[in-house]
């Protein structure tokens, strides 16, 4: 297991009383300008943040002194371990690879990256994912190809060739012992400083995390709304970068309106995509339609759906498959609408804004496509399923 190195000290400070904060062991006193809220001493919780139940007085500017603990590497390690064991995380992290340490750790408390990594403070990084199903990586090669295209667009030269990165990812899953879950991996401009460009960085960094998932997402229906958050311009929307703030705000806006996600429209008003999934429709003529990929992220799951949809054409359930411009009116009048992506697989949309889609119920084509992808994940060809040796 890799050890945690390079930490100097850590504390999270909230509302500060005018009385001194006391610590067990060594401490560091730092003079800062703060706002005084009360004269009641505020205790630290076990992670260093402040808790206060006292009623706040009207704020007034003052100079105050905060006592911060100077932590040893062993104390930092222990606090990180306690943070993880507190249940603050709601996912199971089984293993992490880091090119910074040159190995894999299976302890979540050690799954850290340098704060001066440009992926952290500048968003200069890209990422991708692959599902783990029954001890196989699903569409790893397809996702890795997109990963490298994103790296080129982001002007980040990988520290390894494609074959080596592929081996690292498979071996990380093997070490994790995870047979059902998700593999996520990142390429960053690397650590080195807090400047704008990576000219002073030590070199690009490659990270991967294995997350255990106990069940597949449910194909239950949902409501979507038209997003008012501007979508990223084409140069960035076709790249899977770590700059997901527009995506996050779009999702939050939808949730505030009681919906699952927001749907983006492009600058011409055509249907684009969701915040982290593609969109598809079934027309009244029973044709499967997806928006063009030239202005949105090229979804690996969406492209696999297009390939597998031929089976529904063969048995007569679909009359055709088309990729092209989709108007909002055409989308809202569709027989079915669905979200497609590795995180949702195929999720039916029952309502878009105030308009019900079709009869407002989950449709047979969305369910059939969901079943086809799940079957493909479990028993598809070797081109989409990479076995992992545990």
Per-residue model confidence as pLDDT tens digits over 123-178: 999 999 999 999 999 999 999 999 999 999 999 999 999 999 999 999 999 999 99
> pTM surpassing 0.85?
no
Q: Helix, strand, or coil here: 36?
A: strand
Q: Helix, strand, or coil here: 69?
A: coil
What's the CA angle centered on 138, arms 135 and 140, to 5 degrees? Answer: 115
Per-residue model confidence as pLDDT tens digits over 245-283: 999 999 999 999 999 999 999 999 999 999 999 999 999
**pLDDT band for position 18 (50/70/90)?**
very low
Q: How far apart are the first and last CA of the chain?
A: 18
> Which element (helix H / strand E) includes 339?
strand 336-341
Asked if the model's pLDDT at residue 27 lies above 50, the reply is: no
- Residue 66: what pLDDT? 85
Per-residue model confidence as pLDDT tens digits over 178-225: 999 999 999 999 999 999 999 999 999 999 999 999 999 999 999 999
- Residue 366: what pLDDT? 98
Please tell me what DSSP assigns to residue 22.
P
Q: Where are the beta strands (DSSP E) in 189-324?
A: 205-212, 222-226, 261-263, 278-282, 287-290, 320-323
Mean pLDDT, residues 73-89 taken together? 92
- Residue 61: what pLDDT? 59
Residues 6+ apart with CB under 8 A from 348: 219, 220, 221, 222, 336, 337, 338, 362, 363, 366, 367
* Residue 244: closest CA among 226, 229, 223: 229
- Residue 59: what pLDDT? 56
- Residue 47: what pLDDT? 43
Asked if the model's pLDDT at residue 57 lies above 80, the reply is: no
When the pLDDT of each residue in the chain is averaged and rounded to a whole number, the result is 88
- Residue 108: what pLDDT? 94
Asked if the model's pLDDT at residue 55 lies above 60, the reply is: no
> Which one from 46, 155, 177, 240 is the annotated catalytic residue?
240
- Residue 60: what pLDDT? 60
Indicate the pairing of strand 278-282 with strand 287-290.
antiparallel
Catalytic residue status for 51: no
Mean pLDDT, residues 57-86 taken together? 84
- Residue 65: what pLDDT? 84
Please tell me what DSSP assigns to residue 44.
B
């Amino acid at each position: 297991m890799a050890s945690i190195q390079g930490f100097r000290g850590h504390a999270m400070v909230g509302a500060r009383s005018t009385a001194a904060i006391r610590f067990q062991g060594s401490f560091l006193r730092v003079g800062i300008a703060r706002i005084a809220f009360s004269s009641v001493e505020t205790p630290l919780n076990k992670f260093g943040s402040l808790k206060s139940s006292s009623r706040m007085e009207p704020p007034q500017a003052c100079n105050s002194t905060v006592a911060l603990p100077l932590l040893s590497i062993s104390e930092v390690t222990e606090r990180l371990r306690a943070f993880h064991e507190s249940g603050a995380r709601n996912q199971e992290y089984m293993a992490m690879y880091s090119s910074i340490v040159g190995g894999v750790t299976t302890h979540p408390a050690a799954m850290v990256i340098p704060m001066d990594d440009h992926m952290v403070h500048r968003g200069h990084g890209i990422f991708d994912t692959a599902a783990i199903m029954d001890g196989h990586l699903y569409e790893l090669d397809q996702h890795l190809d997109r990963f490298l295209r994103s790296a080129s667009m982001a002007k980040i030269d990988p520290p390894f060739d494609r074959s080596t990165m592929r081996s690292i990812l498979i071996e990380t899953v093997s070490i994790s012992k995870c047979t059902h879950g998700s593999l996520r991996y990142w390429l960053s401009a690397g650590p080195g400083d807090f400047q704008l460009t990576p000219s002073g960085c030590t070199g690009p960094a490659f990270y991967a995390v294995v997350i255990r998932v106990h069940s597949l997402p449910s194909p239950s229906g949902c409501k979507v709304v038209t997003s008012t958050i501007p979508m990223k311009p084409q140069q960035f929307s076709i790249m899977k970068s770590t700059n997901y703030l527009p995506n996050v705000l779009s999702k939050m806006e939808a949730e505030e309106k009681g919906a699952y996600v927001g749907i983006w429209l492009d600058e011409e008003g055509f249907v684009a995509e969701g915040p982290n999934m593609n969109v598809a429709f079934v027309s009244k003529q029973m044709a499967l339609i997806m928006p063009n990929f030239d202005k949105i992220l090229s979804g690996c799951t969406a492209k696999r759906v297009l390939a597998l949809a031929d089976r529904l054409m063969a048995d007569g359930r679909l009359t055709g498959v088309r990729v092209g411009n989709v108007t909002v009116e055409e989308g809202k009048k569709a027989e079915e609408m669905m979200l497609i992506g590795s995180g949702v697989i195929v999720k039916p949309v029952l309502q878009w804004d105030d308009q019900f889609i079709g009869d407002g119920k989950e449709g047979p084509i969305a369910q059939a496509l969901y079943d086809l992808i799940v079957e493909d994940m479990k028993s598809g060809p070797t081109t989409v399923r990479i076995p992992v040796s545990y």
